[in-house]
C-alpha cells in the first residue's frame, strides 16, 4: 500500500511542532542562548486549541541589563557600527536568504503560536525576506550633506547610528514586526535588544536563531521574551538604551514615552488606528466590497491599520451593507492549517472577551447587527465576522480600536461629510477612498488626517512606502526614507579653511 507524502502544509506544521517541542525556549544575549537570571518561564498557548505549546524563559531587569551591555559592546566594537556599509549590506542579504529558505517553517510556527491562518502567515513570512533586502540596499545610502558657505569654511553633516535600540513588538504579526525592527536598526549600524510580546514570541526566537546562523557578530541582536510591566518597562527606562521603538496600543505607547524620559532616549511609536474606508457611489463596488471585508477580517481584525469604519455614501448604503455582510459570511473560521479557513482565532481569551464586550456595546447603542453576534461553539478563542450598519460615528464601536473582526458601516452624504466624519477620531494611522473620480480621490486623501492612505485599494504595502500615524496613532515612521532618519542622528561639522 502506497502512503501519500505529506502536503507542504503538513510538512511545515510537523517541522514547526518539532522545533517547538525542543528544550524550553531561552533568551538570546550576547550571541548565547541562556536561561533567565531568575530561572522563571512562562507558558505560550495555541489560541486555536487552547493547548500548551511550550515554556519560554521570562526576562526581567537583570536580563535586560545583560542584553543592553552585550548590545553596547557590539555597537562600540568595530565589528558592527564601524563595519563597512557594504559589509552590512551583505550581512542583511544573507539574513534575507536564510529567512526565505525557512518561510514555510516560520509561517507554521506563527500559525501555531498566533492562530493566524497559514495563508496569512505565509504572506507575512514572505514579506520578511523582502524587508531585509530592502534595508540591505539602504546601508550604503545613509548620506550626509555639504552646506554652502562663504568659501572660508567647509560645512558638512554626518549621519550616524543612534547606538543601542530597544524594540518592543506586539503579538499580532510577530515575525513581520521583528523583521521590520531588526532590519531598519541594523542597516543603519545600530544594535538591538528586542522584546517580543509574551502572547506570541516563538517566531521572534526562531528568526533570531536563523539570523545567528548567518554569523552576525555576537550581541548585535538580543531577544528577551517577557512581560511589558517588567521586561518592557526595564528596557524603556534603561539608561544604556539610546532609542525605543514601540509598536502596540496607544495606552501602552504613552507609558513607554513616560519611561523613556529616564535619559530622554529617542522614541518612535506605531500605535492604534480606527481607519476610515470611504466608498463613494461611483466606486467599483465589487472590488470595494471584497477589499472592505478582507481588511476588517484579515488576521481576525487584529491589524492596527484595518479599515474598521466603512463609510458608504447614502445612496448605496443599504446595498453595500447587505453585500458586505454576505461576503463576510463566507469567511470561514476554523483550523488555521485547513485550506478553506480564512479566519483564525483571536490571540487570547482576554482579547476574545474584550471583543465580545464591544459587540455587546454596539447592540446596546442601537447599531443594527447585520452579521455575527453568536458565540463560538468549541475550543479556541474564535469570534466570527461581525457587521454593524447604520452606525453613528460617535458610538463606542466607531471610536475605539476593537482589534477584532468587527465592522461599523457609517453612511455619509458627500465629500465634506466623509472627510468630517473620517477625521472625527483620536487616531490617524490609515485611510482609503474608493471612487472613479480622480479629482475627488486626490482631494479627499489630502484632507483625511492619516499617515498611510490608499485610493481604490486598501492595505497593500511596500517597504518603500512609509508607515506611521497622525494624532494618537504614533510618532515617526517605519519603512521608506523616513525610517532611516528614525534610526540615525545628524552631526554638523565646520572646517576653517
* The pLDDT of residue 436: 98
Tell the CATH superfamily of the 9-271+474-493 domain.
Aldehyde Dehydrogenase; Chain A, domain 1 (3.40.605.10)
Residue 449 is classified by DSSP as -
Give the DSSP per-residue string, 272-335.
----EEEE-TTS-HHHHHHHHHHHHHGGGG--TT---EEEEEGGGHHHHHHHHHHHHTT--BS-
The whole-angstrom separation of Cα 486 and Cα 475 is: 10
395 in Cβ contact with 407 (< 8 Å): no
3-state SS, residue 115: coil
End-to-end CA distance of the chain: 87
Residues of the chain with pLDDT under 50: none
Residue 214, all three cell numbers: 548567518
**Which one is catalytic: 110, 198, 270, 478?**
270
295 in Cβ contact with 446 (< 8 Å): no
The whole-angstrom separation of Cα 272 and Cα 473 is: 5
Residue 145 is classified by DSSP as -
Domain 276-455 CATH (choose: 3.20.10.10, 3.40.50.1100, 3.40.309.10, 1.10.357.10)? 3.40.309.10
* The pLDDT of residue 3: 63
Reply yes or no on whether 270 is catalytic: yes
- Domain ranges within the chain, ordered by starting residue: 9-271+474-493, 276-455
Pairing outcome for strands 368-371 and 386-389:
antiparallel
Cα–Cα separations (whole angstroms), residue 137 to 133, 164, 171, 181, 226: 7, 22, 28, 16, 32
In CATH terms, are 9-271+474-493 and 276-455 the same topology? no
As beta bridge partners, residue 166 has 193, 244
Residue 4 is classified by DSSP as P
Amino acid at each position: 500500500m502506497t502512503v501519500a507524502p505529506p502536503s507542504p502544509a503538513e510538512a511545515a506544521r510537523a517541522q514547526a511542532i518539532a522545533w517547538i517541542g525542543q528544550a524550553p525556549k531561552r533568551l538570546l544575549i550576547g550571541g548565547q542562548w541562556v536561561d533567565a537570571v531568575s530561572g522563571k518561564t512562562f507558558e505560550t498557548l495555541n489560541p486555536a486549541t487552547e493547548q500548551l505549546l511550550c515554556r519560554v524563559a521570562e526576562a526581567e531587569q537583570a536580563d535586560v541589563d545583560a542584553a543592553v551591555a552585550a548590545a553596547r559592546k557590539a555597537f562600540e566594537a568595530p565589528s558592527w557600527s564601524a563595519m563597512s556599509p557594504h559589509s552590512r549590506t551583505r550581512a542583511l542579504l544573507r539574513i534575507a536568504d536564510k529567512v526565505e529558505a525557512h518561510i514555510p517553517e516560520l509561517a507554521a510556527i506563527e500559525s501555531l503560536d498566533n492562530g493566524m491562518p497559514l495563508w496569512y502567515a505565509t504572506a507575512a513570512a514572505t514579506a520578511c525576506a523582502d524587508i531585509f533586502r530592502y534595508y540591505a540596499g539602504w546601508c550604503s545610502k545613509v548620506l550626509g550633506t555639504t552646506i554652502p558657505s562663504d568659501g572660508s569654511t567647509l560645512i558638512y553633516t554626518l549621519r550616524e547610528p543612534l547606538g543601542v535600540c530597544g524594540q518592543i513588538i506586539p503579538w499580532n504579526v510577530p515575525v513581520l514586526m521583528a523583521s521590520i525592527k531588526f532590519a531598519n536598526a541594523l542597516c543603519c549600524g545600530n544594535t538591538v535588544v528586542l522584546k517580543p510580546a509574551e502572547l506570541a514570541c516563538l517566531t521572534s526566537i526562531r528568526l533570531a536563531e536563523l539570523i545567528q546562523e548567518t554569523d552576525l557578530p555576537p550581541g548585535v541582536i538580543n531577544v528577551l521574551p517577557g512581560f511589558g510591566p517588567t521586561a518592557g518597562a526595564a528596557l524603556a527606562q534603561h539608561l544604556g538604551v539610546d532609542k525605543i521603538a514601540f509598536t502596540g496600543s496607544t495606552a501602552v505607547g504613552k507609558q513607554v514615552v513616560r519611561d523613556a524620559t529616564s535619559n530622554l532616549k529617542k522614541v518612535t511609536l506605531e500605535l492604534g488606528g480606527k481607519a476610515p474606508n470611504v466608498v463613494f457611489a461611483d466606486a467599483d463596488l465589487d472590488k470595494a466590497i471584497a477589499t472592505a471585508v478582507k481588511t476588517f477580517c484579515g488576521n481576525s481584525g487584529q491589524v492596527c491599520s484595518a479599515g474598521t469604519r466603512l463609510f458608504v455614501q447614502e445612496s448605496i448604503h443599504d446595498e453595500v451593507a447587505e453585500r458586505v455582510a454576505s461576503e463576510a459570511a463566507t469567511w470561514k473560521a476554523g483550523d488555521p492549517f485547513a485550506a478553506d479557513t480564512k479566519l483564525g482565532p483571536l490571540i487570547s481569551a482576554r482579547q476574545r472577551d474584550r471583543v465580545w464586550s464591544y459587540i455587546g456595546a454596539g447592540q446596546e447603542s442601537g447599531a443594527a447587527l447585520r452579521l455575527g453576534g453568536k458565540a463560538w461553539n468549541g475550543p479556541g478563542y474564535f469570534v466570527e465576522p461581525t457587521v454593524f450598519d447604520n452606525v453613528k460615528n460617535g458610538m463606542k464601536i466607531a471610536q475605539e480600536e476593537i482589534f477584532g473582526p468587527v465592522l461599523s458601516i457609517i453612511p455619509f452624504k458627500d465629500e465634506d461629510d466623509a472627510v468630517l466624519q473620517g477625521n472625527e477620531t483620536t487616531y490617524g494611522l490609515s485611510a482609503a477612498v474608493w471612487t472613479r473620480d480622480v479629482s475627488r480621490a486626490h482631494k479627499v486623501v489630502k484632507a483625511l488626517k492619516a499617515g498611510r492612505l490608499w485610493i481604490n485599494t486598501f492595505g497593500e504595502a511596500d517597504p518603500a512606502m512609509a508607515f506611521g500615524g497622525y494624532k494618537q496613532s504614533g510618532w515617526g515612521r517605519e519603512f521608506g526614507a523616513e525610517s532611516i532618519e528614525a534610526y540615525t542622528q545628524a552631526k554638523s561639522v565646520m572646517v576653517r579653511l
